Structure formats: C-alpha cells, structure tokens
Amino acid sequence: MPHLTDADPRFAAAQAISRRIQDRRRHLRLTQQDLAERLGEPLGTVNRWDGGHNVISSLDLVAVARALGTSAGHLLGEVTEAEMADEVLLAQYRALPAPAQAAARAVLCALSEQAEAGRLG
C-alpha cells in the first residue's frame, strides 16, 4: 500500500481509521507488537496502519477489526460504540437458552414500566 502525504485526498480518512485502531488497541491495553502478533503481520506494517501512514486494505481492515474485537464498520467510523454495544448485547441475548431469554425479557419489561412511571432516575 502506498505511503500517504497530507496532499493525498485519502490522508484524512487514513488518519481517522488510524485513530480508531489506536483507540481500540489502547482500550484493550495492546501494544503494536501485540497486535502484529495477533495478525501475523510485521511490526512495521502495523506501525504504518496505526500511524495513518498507509492506506489499509479492506481485507486487512477486517482482520484488524477481528483482532481488536470490533467491526470494520466501527474502524471506518460508520458504527458508533453505542451501536456496537447494542449489537453485542443482542448477540448475547440470542445465544441464551429460551428460559433465560424469557427471564431477560421480563426484567426489561419491568425496567421499562418503571421508567415510564418515572421511578428510574
């Protein structure tokens, strides 16, 4: 992938993706070396992505997202943290056995009724 300069129209997008990769990596307390090892990539490659110096390919972006436990949409800035959290909760709910799903629905209904009655603050 080409090295970018600020004159390149892709520079701002690469910088934004880079910031999201850095933020997620740091949130997980991973070093660039840790991420490189998870991906099986040379440290220099991860350093260039993390620094926003190179355009990351779509396949590499998906691999980085998986290694960081997030989505490519999030790294692209198309999915917010809140939306990701919603997706994770929904996936966890769907993985529950039917009796546990029923119990979770009952709790959510009770909380919703309390909120409507103004009892939650």
User: Which domains are delineated in the chain?
Assistant: 11-76 (1.10.260.40), 81-116 (no CATH)
pLDDT at 112: 86
pLDDT per residue over 8-28, tens digit each?
Answer: 777 888 889 999 999 999 999
Average pLDDT over residues 17-41: 94
Which tokens in the block code for residue 38? 């998870």
Q: In the chain, what is the straight-line distance between the N-terminal and C-terminal CA atoms, in Å? A: 51
Helix 58-67 to helix 32-39 angle (10° resolution) is 110
pLDDT per residue over 74-94, tens digit each?
Answer: 899 887 777 767 777 777 788
- Residues written for the chain: 121
Average pLDDT over residues 58-86: 85
